[in-house]
Amino acid sequence: MLAKWLDLYEDEIALFLWSALILFLIRTSNILFNNFAETAFLKRFGVQYLPYITAVNSVSTFFIMGLLTGIMVKASWSRRLEAGCCPTRSCFAEPLWQHFDWSSPWK
């Protein structure tokens, strides 16, 4: 039913489930690490510094994203795509893509 609802072919279901599992694990680890980091900060420095850290975090995020935007404007599309896909491909996608037989994709 899920495959029909998402318009997946029969040979794409396993890849979809692997991708969903990997994204779930990444999100779960991100939540757990964020919770640990905030707890460690509060235990070490206390609540009185929390507004300052929130302000520093938002300002630094603004400037870092501005810097990345400037870099992306100067880079070509192919370089951006390659830089964004290479770490992801080597960590997650290569083991998944090697698992399937892609010799004849138009069966």
Q: Give 68-86 pLDDT, tens digit per residue.
A: 888 777 777 666 666 666 6
Q: What is the pLDDT of residue 58?
A: 92
pTM of the model: 0.49
Same domain, 95 and 52: yes
Same domain, 41 and 74: no
- Two structure tokens written together for 95: 């083991």
Q: CB–CB of 72/80 below 8 Å? A: yes
pLDDT tens digits along 2-59: 777 878 788 888 888 899 999 999 999 999 998 998 898 889 888 898 888 889 989 9
**Structural domain contains residue 81:** yes
Same domain, 39 and 54: no
**Structural domain contains residue 12:** yes
User: What's the domain range around 54?
Assistant: 48-99
Same domain, 62 and 83: yes
Inter-CA distances, 38 with 25, 29, 35, 57, Å: 20, 14, 5, 13
CA atoms within 13 A on the CB side of 79: 6
Inter-CA distances, 15 with 1, 94, 99, Å: 16, 12, 9
